[in-house]
Structure 1
Amino acid sequence: MPERRALIVIDVQQSFIQRPYWDESTLPAFRDKLLALIAGCRTHGVPVVHILHEDGDGPFTAASGLVRIMDWLPDDADATFTKHVHNALTDSGLQPWLAARGITRLIIAGLRTEQCCETTARVASDLGYAVDFVTEATQTFAMTHAASGRVYSPDEIRAHTELVLGGRFARLHSVSSCLAALTSS
């Protein structure tokens, strides 16, 4: 019996555009990869789930009006859940939705690679889900180390996430390898 999968698109929401670290130059590549992943999952009958992050921090508050998907993201999700912590599975309603559909493998994509995407992958693995982490369909931003002042590029951050997730918490994928896995199952 083939595994039942769901694509979990995390925090691709208008809130991020208001952040000082937002880098519009990285958006086109991320957008193209994520849209290709969504389209491929749709072709293979994989449900697409949007996760939104809401907390008490400026553009992430409900009152801001920005806790909604980015304008370019298809709004035809099979389900949308709001989370209040870094992972998409705790108290969002996602777990019961997955269980009701017999979904055992999660495909992870979205914003930010090392934060909510990585945390969701770790928690999902600990909860017994198989995880496919599609790094090129995640986006992050440069970060400055608080103690040393060293600036880490998005590529360095993604490489670190792959290092710590791969073979432990998730299978690492490109969009094309993830979609090929859907075809072969």
Structure 2
Amino acid sequence: MEIQENAALLLIDVQKGFEDEEFWGRRDNPAAEENITALLDRWQETGRPVVYIRHDSVVAGSPLRPGQPGNDFKELVEERRGKGTGPELLVTKTVNSGFYGEPDLDTWLRGAGIGQLVLAGIQTNMCNETTARMGGNLGYDVVYALDAMHTFDLTGPFGWTATAEELTRATAVSLHGGQFARVVTTAEVLAGASAS
């Protein structure tokens, strides 16, 4: 896999509020943070652009609301912000897609001549998937690092439930099979993103 020299790493909602198990329930993929860290370190080492996307929830009681400790980025992100040699951008949003935030992500990416996006963060089947679908629709080459993200068990209509693992698999099949994104592993991304 070739990762372009100016491919942007989109770190989606890597926020402390997602550590609230009482609010969110059971999660999958305990290795997500380790893989997110590996991607961020490689992007910063190679001078590639990093976009930090933060969810500023408007839902009452959400741990992701502005002014709450859960709105802050996790330490693995916060301690690395501003330490890379490449460009960085902070996008804040109140909806699922990173393309509906401030400042406008699409305008920034196109202005920088960026055509390839690598996605990681939280949650696999929510903001990550929505951002990937929009990125694909907008013509970007979207690379979806599935093991550098996680999600939670979920209850839907008709009493249906799905585990985090089932949701992750459904998202991967839908995005990859529907050609919105290439669903890959962190190791594949790292192998393709070595220093030139």
Please give the range of the TM-score, normalised by the shorter of the 2 chains: 0.7 to 0.9
Cα deviation for residue 149 of structure 1 reads 3.6
Is 1:132 equivalent to 2:136 in the alignment?
Answer: no
Q: TM-score, normalised by structure 1?
A: 0.87
Is 1:17 equivalent to 2:19 in the alignment?
Answer: yes
CA deviations over 1:58-104 (Å, ceiling 9, x no partner): 32322324322012324415221101111001242222221221111
User: Matched residues in 2 for 1:71 and 1:184: separation?
Assistant: 25
Please tell me the residue identity of whatever aligns with 1:131: V
Confirm or deny: 8 A CA contact 2:10 2:50 kept in the other structure.
yes
Cα deviation for residue 48 of structure 1 reads 1.6
Cα deviation for residue 3 of structure 1 reads 6.0
Specify every segment of 5 or more residues in structure 1 that has no aligned partner in the other structure, as ranges. none
Please tell me the residue identity of whatever aligns with 1:66: G
Aligned twin of 1:76: 81
Confirm or deny: 8 A CA contact 1:7 1:109 kept in the other structure.
yes
Stretches of 4+ aligned residues off by more than 6 angstroms:
none
Please tell me the residue identity of whatever aligns with 1:17: E
Q: TM-score, normalised by structure 2?
A: 0.83
CA RMSD of aligned residues (A): 2.2
Cα deviation for residue 22 of structure 1 reads 4.5
Question: Structure with the greater relative contact order (CA < 8 A, sep ≥ 6): 1 or 2?
Answer: 2
Identity %: 31
Q: How does 1:25-36 map to 2 (within 5 A)?
A: 26=28, 28-36=30-38
SS in 2 for 1:119: helix
Confirm or deny: 8 A CA contact 1:3 1:104 kept in the other structure.
no
Confirm or deny: 8 A CA contact 2:12 2:127 kept in the other structure.
yes
Cα deviation for residue 180 of structure 1 reads 1.7
